[in-house]
């Protein structure tokens, strides 16, 4: 079985593949203060909750955008499973041609998401990541990554607004019935949901215009589902596409593939 660990700025998402099937998932908060022993306790609890025999885990891969967490988590996986983890980054084969200025700076989550999406949906493709930041990336039909845009994430933008506006309340991300609203809560909801949807639609149009091609559009991330339902474009939501990409990358780099 293959253990995948997607380390983001806000959460760490674990996935366990049995063959090509993603059998189990778990999410917990990213904490740069945790030691390898503390991460080992979390992993051990994960396996206990799902009744997983750690002796069946014979492979592991990590994608991380939080360097302080990468090594402690890698050590923790070794402690619990006795397996050495691959880490997505320079030197690891992905099959994707990175046509950007500094390929080594591209986040592992973006690499994995684009690999997973291209493998599953083909190209040309626009891949949307909606987490701490909103990232929109373009991959052409030959599996070349051409870059994209980075914007403040939905949650960060909303927090900045409500924390710095003394009279503005915290709100959920439920889209109101109308764009033009008559109370403060719905006005904020409207701007956050419809505003971000319009941003996505506008940038998708710009991407397609600049490349002169119609694209498949895939979105992932905890907040994506709440936003893309208000978009004009047909956007496929794929919750596990980063984990799927990690599976694909592991397979490409390991000759003796796990069973």
Q: Is the peptide bond before 124 cis (omega within 30 degrees of 0)?
A: yes
List 6, 109, 186, 244, catalytic entry? 109
* Whether 31 is catalytic: no
DSSP string for 30-83: --TT--HHHHHHHHHHHHHHTT--GGG--EEEEEES-HHHHHHHHHHHHHHH--
Dist CA 4 CA 194 (whole Å): 34
What separation in angstroms does the CA of 174 have from each of 139, 155, 193, 229, 230?
Answer: 31, 13, 8, 11, 11
How many residues are recorded in the chain? 259
Angle value at C-alpha 222, between 37 and 196, nearest 5 degrees: 140
Dist CA 3 CA 13 (whole Å): 11
What are the catalytic residues?
109
């Amino acid at each position: 079985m293959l253990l995948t660990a997607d380390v983001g700025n806000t959460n760490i998402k674990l996935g366990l593949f049995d063959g090509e099937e993603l059998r189990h998932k778990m999410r917990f908060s990213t904490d740069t203060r945790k030691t390898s022993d503390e991460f080992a306790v979390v992993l051990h609890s994960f396996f206990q909750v799902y009744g997983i025999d750690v002796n069946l885990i014979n492979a592991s891969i990590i994608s991380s955008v939080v360097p302080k967490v990468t090594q402690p988590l890698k050590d923790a996986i070794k402690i619990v499973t006795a397996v050495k983890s691959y880490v997505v980054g320079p030197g690891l084969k992905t099959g994707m041609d990175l046509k950007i200025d500094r390929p080594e700076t591209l986040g592992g989550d973006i690499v994995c998401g684009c690999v997973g999406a291209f493998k599953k949906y083909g190209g040309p493709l626009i891949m949307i990541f909606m987490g701490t930041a909103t990232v929109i990336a373009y991959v052409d039909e030959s599996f070349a990554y051409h870059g994209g845009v980075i914007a403040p994430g939905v949650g960060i933008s909303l927090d900045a607004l409500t924390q710095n506006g003394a009279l503005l309340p915290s709100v959920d991300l439920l889209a109101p019935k109308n764009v033009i609203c008559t109370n403060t809560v719905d006005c904020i909801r409207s701007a956050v949901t419809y505003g971000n949807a319009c941003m996505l639609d506008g940038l998708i149009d710009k991407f397609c215009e600049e490349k002169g091609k119609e694209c498949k559009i895939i979105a992932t991330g905890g907040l994506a589902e709440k936003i893309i339902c208000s978009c004009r474009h047909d956007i496929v939501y794929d919750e596990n596409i980063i984990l799927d990409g990690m599976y694909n990358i592991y397979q490409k780099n390991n000759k003796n593939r796990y069973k």
